[in-house]
Homo-oligomer: A and B are copies of this chain.
Amino acid sequence: FITMAAAARTLRIGLIPGDGIGREVIPAGQRVLESLPSSLNLKFSFVNLDAGFDTFQRTGTALPDKTVDTLKKECDGALFGAVSSPSTKVAGYSSPIVALRKKLDLYANVRPVKTTVGSTSGDPIDLVIVRENTEDLYVKEERTHEGPNGKVAEAIKRISESASTRISTIAGEIALRRQKIRAAAPATATRDQSMVTITHKSNVLSQTDGLFREAARKALAAERFSSVHVEEQIVDSMVYKLFRQPEYYDVIVAPNLYGDILSDGAAALVGSLGLVPSANVGDGFAIGEPCHGSAPDIEGKGVANPIATLRSVALMLEFLGEEIAAAKIYTAVDANLDEAKFLSPDMGGKATTQQVLDDVLKRL
């Protein structure tokens, strides 16, 4: 018999640092990919791509066609840093990440929020927000007219059965996957049964949010989700409960804007936005994106927390089917946080971005 080494899989990753500390954390993301053990048989190649407010100021567009084209034609995934929002309205500027989500049909925005063993005295929080990523008010169809009493502006909130079904199905799949991971490590499992909480405001928006709720109920009633407990929560109560009883939640599925708000709220529960990753996921493509912004106040100081980005790299890998590589990164990051020796200033520590990164890399 001849034993053949499996051919290494090569993933081409677009790097989009964007603005501010995006330029400090995305290189850390690249480094962690380059440092994965060779036994994983994974190789990476990288391509640097432009987007953001600086790009807008330089070129007149926040998301150059070249960036979109390269991602579509050459890449398997990408890492997106952060973009600055101008503090006053700038004609012609609009958020490149919102556009990217739509242009690549990255219909799910997945945002896990968890405490590590060492970081909490109370019950551990381990939840994930699954946010619809293409519609709702983010369709950005707005218009303004001059009324008898001044300007009146209107925006469309669009909710479709198909997008609501799709995101709810993903939420169900994620609940099953989490259940599988818990079953594999029962000692650290935080719950017995997986659960999806559908968030909406159908008591006011009976058609749009009513449709979301109905589609979600139907999708999650499928036979393959029979082991998943399904419940719902009105969005305002959801924020209340998220703060009062975060350890109760497992998977939360929500339309785009509620998901945006809920994920920042959940981030507050674990101490710093600098810890919270996200992935923008479509069919066969994923962009890892830390949940924090461009943080102009600390830009260029080398103290940005790279953890959210490192976890976003892992999340991207998960959705590209590389769960073992992802688990390696998660474990190294958790160990860094639990030891709490190299923490960045947002965590009450003194370590630089580089020192946190080095500490994680040596644990890989």
Residues of A bordering B, CB below 8 Å = 85, 89, 94-95, 98, 137-138, 140, 142-144, 147, 149-162, 165, 201-208, 210-211, 214, 234-237, 239-244, 257, 260-261, 263-265, 267-269, 273, 293
Contacts and interface: CB of A to CB of B under 8 A. Distances in A.
Q: Which of A202, A206, A210 has the most CB of B within 10 A?
A: A206
A264 B244 contact: no
Counted per complex, copies of this chain come to: 2
B160 A149 contact: yes
Contacts of A140: 204-206
Contacts of A161: 149-152
A52 to B, nearest CB: 13
A157 B155 CA distance: 5
A142 B237 contact: no
Given A153-B211, A155-B159, A265-B265, 7 more contacts: A85-B234, A137-B205, A147-B160, A151-B161, A151-B211, A236-B260, A236-B261
A130 to B, nearest CB: 16
A147 B94 CA distance: 28
A203 B87 CA distance: 9
A206 B144 CA distance: 11
Contacts of A205: 137, 140, 142, 155
B142 A208 contact: yes
A273 B240 contact: yes
B239 A239 contact: yes
B149 A162 contact: yes
B206 A89 contact: yes
Nearest to A93: B206
Given A240-B267, A265-B239, A153 B144 contact: no
26 contacts: A85-B234, A89-B202, A95-B203, A137-B205, A138-B204, A140-B204, A140-B205, A142-B207, A143-B207, A149-B160, A150-B162, A151-B161, A151-B211, A153-B211, A154-B156, A154-B157, A154-B158, A154-B159, A155-B157, A157-B157, A236-B261, A239-B265, A240-B265, A240-B273, A243-B268, A244-B268
